[in-house]
Amino acid sequence: MMNLLKIALAALLLLALVLVVNAGVFDANWRWDDSQILLHSHQYSFWQDFTRPEVWQQFSPANLTPWLIFSFEVDMILFGLSPAAFYLHQLLAIVAAGLLLFMCLNLWCRAVFALAGSVLFVVGLPSMLVAEQLMTRHYVEGLVFALAALYGFVMYLRTDRKGLLAVAVLMYVLAVTAKEIYVPLPALLLLVPDRDWGARIKASLPFFAVTVLYTLWRGYMLGSYSGGYVDSSEYLSLAIVGEVLASFVRFPALLTGIGWPVLVLLFLGLWAAYLARSRRVPWRALLVAALVLLPLVPLVRSPGIVLADRYLLLPWLMVCFALAWCVDKVMVVRNKAATGNTQAAAANTATPLPAMILAGTAMPIMVAITLLHAMPVRQALASVGTEFDVQAQFLWQNEDTHAFVPSGNVLPAFWFVTGLVDLKARISGQGSPLPMVDDIYLAQQPDIRLFTYDVNCQCMRDVTGAIPERLAQHRARVRADAALSLSYRYQQGYFSWQFGPWQDGSYHVVSDTLGVLPLPPAGQLRVTLADNAPFYLRYTSPEGWITYSELNRVVQDGAAVEWSRN
């Protein structure tokens, strides 16, 4: 009963905390990838994303995360297209992750320190940013399943109740359908400090069997056993080692901002105090860190880890777990009942006073540092999210008699626009405002009513009267006869290209269906492109003049396409 009471009280505290620090999300609309997830959920039954490669790869050829589609489809069935309900689901998933972290920590730590670790987790920047982005739900729900699997596995080792092991295996199955980063979990289970190696190996065999089946399923669904947005040969080469190390050493600063030296010193100090007392090499901790960090290696080069968002959710949990563990082990009081020689023995094993002070103040300090960094960074992301909110409402409420210029943050995530347009057409049959991703398209329809996003009022402003001046400035920049060349091929989900002849300046693929994509002069990218999608190649010189190719179209699995103008 007491255990249930502790869990209930922890759940209430975490729920209140998550709702308070993330209350602003209930006013949010659809953002980033949300519209494409909704569209895909509306187009297909969820089971097709688990079983049919041709269906799943329309959403993503690079990653296998069908639980995300299923989770959105559940919300659509229950709540329709009500963003507030989706965000409530998101917050409850974060609460569940925090509660399961508390339960897992409480397996080895006292409740007060287990709760401190879970509080630190839910107020951390990764958790706050996940709350702002519905498209990241599979990271947090996968984490819920992974923690439930860990808890069930340990409880099975302690009780030999096979039902607990079966539930743990099921949770692992769900975790890997949510996100690939949870695939290494069976290796982590071998490292828990319960029972002996033989018992842990025997109990983990069903998990490794799931890993093998997952690998086969992944190969079937993606046509490849690897993933990511670049070819696997790039992140398996030695050349990327330096980039990975340079990226990983920035994680403390990403997580806690200017307070990162405090985080590092507290972390190292607590571990030093724990190791001095236990006199053990922390080989388990090092292996767990490797299991958590290795799945991030493919992300270093593309898309890059520049913010403590979903990519650092699992590393952040690892930090919270490690801090709570160390605080619990360091906070050992003397045995007041001991006398004589036993008292001396107790004194020898007691933690020194400086270490006790460090442990006693570590978690409050970390919570304060984390909140001071997380709140303004989250607010900055929320401001970006507002751009999506306003333009989502504009798209949903107006038809193709209007046009708009996608804002600077919406344009790089252009499939948000196309997804919402297609979803609206499927549901209502109505058209949507036309996106003017580049003035080359505005020049083709100069008489349309045009709107842009105004950051000052956080609204859409009518700028129709400024169209003639805008087009005049555009024409003054264009050099129609400047040299330009392109060669590209789209084979088996990889877009390979070579642009020229300029080596300085910048190249962009410009399309009213693909958006505006900044690309280097040459490269290869795993991406889903609609067959026959139209696009221009735009070159911008260092001096500011621009030139365009003729209109090209994506040719899927066809011969290489070449065009040039000397």
Q: For residues 11-22, give the mean pLDDT.
A: 96
- Answer yes or no: is pLDDT of 338 > 60: no
Q: Which residue has the higher pLDDT, 279 or 215?
A: 215
Show the tokens assigned to 244: 């990975």
- For 111, residues 6+ apart whose C-beta sits below 8 A from its C-beta are 6, 10, 102
DSSP state of 450: E
- Answer yes or no: is pLDDT of 234 > 70: no
Query: What is the predicted pLDDT for the residue at 287?
Result: 92
Q: Could you identify the residue written with the tokens 């569209």? A: 39
Query: What is the predicted pLDDT for the residue at 89?
Result: 98
**pLDDT tens digits, 152-167:** 999 999 999 999 999 9
**pLDDT tens digits, 246-274:** 999 999 999 999 999 999 998 888 888 88
Show the tokens assigned to 42: 């509306």
**pLDDT tens digits, 304-324:** 899 999 999 999 999 999 999
- Answer yes or no: is pLDDT of 280 > 90: no
Query: What is the predicted pLDDT for the residue at 473?
Result: 95
Global pTM? Answer: 0.89
Q: For residues 18-41, give the mean pLDDT.
A: 95
Show the tokens assigned to 433: 């405002």
Residue spans of the domains in the chain: they are 2-381, 398-476, 480-565
Fold of 480-565: Immunoglobulin-like (2.60.40)
- Answer yes or no: is pLDDT of 337 > 70: no
**Each residue of 191-211: b (16+ CB within 10 Å) or e?**
ebebeeeeebeebbebbeebb
Chain-wide mean pLDDT for the chain? 90
**pLDDT tens digits, 420-441:** 999 999 999 999 999 999 999 9
Three-state SS at 369:
helix
| Torsion region of 109: left, alpha or beta (phi above 0 gives left; psi -120 to 50 gives alpha) | beta
